[in-house]
């Protein structure tokens, strides 16, 4: 199976609202539903799992029922960190009978503009190489912040990647990486790709993302950008 594992276990402190950001409604629809719909409508996805804030599972299921997210099969409790939440999710998949060779697309629950093309390319790349990381090479001039000052980075910008999600792996590979991380004392990694890299994997293949998929709803201004993007129409003259 190809399974989307959505991370929605955070409280969203930087958004500064009274409700976790994944449950905020934009145009009468929760953010997490926009994200689930991207995978619901993908012909390449067989099932969806969500890692949720403990106590919010009934609300998550109720929203899924309301918006006809029929591919949602599992809701797992989140942990104290992103790394713990993902481990809870993949452990839950394993204990619920998922196969070691199932392909898992780990995706941010508040990154709602992932395209069918990105989803399909992640699956194809994982099948061929075993690992897939969505991202874009940098077009900006990148500098390092040191004690309040910006310093030059010697790495050429075309070699620097702004990662997005999904990050895609076989279930057995992702489980092994988390188990290895525990043995090595690796904690609080910010993403699956950094955890995999920290455990010694050097061949994570890049899947080209998009500027739209780069939008992760983190701060209030991101909501304004998201609303503008979902209501925009492409210029008819553009190729």
Partners of 137 in the beta sheet? 161
The β-bridge relationship of strands 29-30 and 25-26 is: antiparallel
134 token code pair: 């969505």
Q: pLDDT per residue over 168-223, tens digit each?
A: 999 999 999 999 999 999 999 999 999 999 999 999 999 999 999 999 999 999 99
Structural domains in the chain?
2-230 (3.90.550.10)
For residue 179, give Cα distances in angstroms to 21, 31, 32, 81, 176: 30, 31, 29, 16, 5
Q: What is the pLDDT of residues 53-99, one digit of tens each?
A: 999 999 999 999 999 999 999 999 999 999 999 999 999 999 999 99
**pLDDT, tens only, 7-38:** 998 877 888 888 999 999 999 999 999 999 99
What DSSP assignment string belongs to 70-123? TTEEEEEE--SSHHHHHHHHHHHHHHTT--TT-EEEEEETT-TT--HHHHHHHH
Q: Is the pTM of this model over 0.75?
A: yes
């Amino acid at each position: 199976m190809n399974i989307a594992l959505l991370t929605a276990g955070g409280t969203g402190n930087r958004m500064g609202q009274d409700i976790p950001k994944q449950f905020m409604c934009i145009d009468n629809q929760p953010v997490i539903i926009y994200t689930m719909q991207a995978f619901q409508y993908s012909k390449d996805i067989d099932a969806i799992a969500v890692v949720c804030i403990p106590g919010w599972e009934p609300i998550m299921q109720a929203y899924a029922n309301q918006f006809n997210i029929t591919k949602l099969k599992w809701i797992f409790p989140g942990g104290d960190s992103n790394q713990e939440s993902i481990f809870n999710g993949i452990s839950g998949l394993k204990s619920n009978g998922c196969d070691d060779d199932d392909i898992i697309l780990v995706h941010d629950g508040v990154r709602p503009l992932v395209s069918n093309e990105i989803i399909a390319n992640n699956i194809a790349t994982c099948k061929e190489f075993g690992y897939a990381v969505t991202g874009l090479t940098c077009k900006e001039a990148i500098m390092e912040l040191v004690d309040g000052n910006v310093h030059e980075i010697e790495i050429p910008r075309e070699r620097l990647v702004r990662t997005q999600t999904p990050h895609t792996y076989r279930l057995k590979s992702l489980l092994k990486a988390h188990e290895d991380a525990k043995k090595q004392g690796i904690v609080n990694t910010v993403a699956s790709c950094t955890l995999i890299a920290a455990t010694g994997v050097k061949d994570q293949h890049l899947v080209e993302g998009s500027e739209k998929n780069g939008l992760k709803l983190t701060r209030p201004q991101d909501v304004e950008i998201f609303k503008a993007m979902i209501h925009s129409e492409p210029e008819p003259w553009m190729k």
